[in-house]
Amino acid sequence: MADRLRTIGQVFDYTFDNLETWDLDHAGRKTNVTNSNKFIKIHGRSLMVAKINQPTMDVVKKVLKERDDASNRTINLCVGTCQVALNFCLGKGLLPWPDPREGFIKDNRYCFPKLPVMRIDKPIFSKDQVIHMYEYGLRLSKSLGQVYQNCAETILFSAFTGISWSEYVQLKPCDIHLDARIPYVEVGSRRDFTLKREVRKRKIPLANDSAMLIPILKRRIEDVDGSNDYYLFGDDWTSRYKEGIDQHRRIYESITDDLNYTFDDRGEKRTPYCLRHSFCTWSLRDGKCIETTSQLMGHSNLNTTRRYLHLVLDDYVESMPASTQLAKVI
């Protein structure tokens, strides 16, 4: 196929028009627009793809650091956005293959090194806090409508299954297996179920704490007469992805704000995704092995799950008598 895209402006335009996670209805589009504009403001739309190399990215890093006082994380996002667009178009055969002798090329793909970022542990909720949020959301729904009940139940659902927003809004009755010996939710088994990665396909048992979700799921299946033509958590939330996630976030934030749960003790903000982080941490605290927890989370790499282990170990050390803690340090 002849090369068709020659400038970075053309690369960004094609990616926005054709990459699913960059399209108009996807929640990540706004971030990608912001980061691509930062790159274009520095180098212009007419920058030739053939001239993009490591020094090109070094200029981006230098300008963002000196002009905007940008953090390493922000700079990495900008460079990463450009890298994703280049590799997407490269995979479509629309760009000349870069010279593999170049230092920024890895396996014939653009792979620019990232700046070091200090890892900050994601804030989590306690189980009591999640149940409090659920009960408060139900109370609000009596005066403010069904959408508050939807949000309350998905808060509970996400925290006790680890299922993310993009996954549970796709659930249909056929994905819920309540008649099994151990009831479970099946994520990603349908052909029309969109997953970020194939490894996210998994079965999540509804047992112990998560068994409290069974009555909710039963009621929702009955509400749609068991028909797989409907989504369990409301077609109004899934017909337009961007509008749905914005509405969910607004209601979630009103609940956490009212209960003073928006920030943890360190001042870190608890986003809806922190419900999933909470599930992973609770799973390890409850004694599940790291392999099982990794499978329940749909992690592609065991090292991702290992990041949560130190939180559990910190809890263990804090629960020890002071004399024992001192002995551990010594």
- pLDDT digits 0-9 by tens, 293-330: 888 888 888 877 887 776 666 554 444 444 433 344 33
**Segment 173-201, tens digit of pLDDT:** 999 999 999 999 999 889 888 877 776 88
pLDDT at 47: 96
Cα–Cα distance between 131 and 259 in angstroms, integer?
Answer: 12
CATH 1.10.510.10 fits 127-315, yes or no: no
pTM: 0.66
Cα–Cα distance between 283 and 292 in angstroms, integer?
Answer: 9
pLDDT at 62: 94
Cα–Cα distance between 211 and 183 in angstroms, integer?
Answer: 8
In this structure, what token pair is assigned to residue 146? Answer: 């069904």
Cα–Cα distance between 143 and 254 in angstroms, integer?
Answer: 14
Cα–Cα distance between 307 and 194 in angstroms, integer?
Answer: 26
| Domain locations in the chain as residue ranges | 8-110, 127-315
Ranges of residues in the chain whose predicted pLDDT is under 70: 1-3, 24-27, 100, 108, 119-120, 199, 234-244, 310-330
Element (H, E) at 202: strand 202-205
pLDDT at 214: 96
pLDDT at 236: 55
Residue 32 vs residues 24, 35, 115, 313: alpha-carbon distances, Å: 11, 5, 19, 37
pLDDT at 326: 38
pLDDT at 84: 93
Rounded to a whole number, what is the distance in angstroms from the first to the last CA of the chain? 66
pLDDT at 324: 39
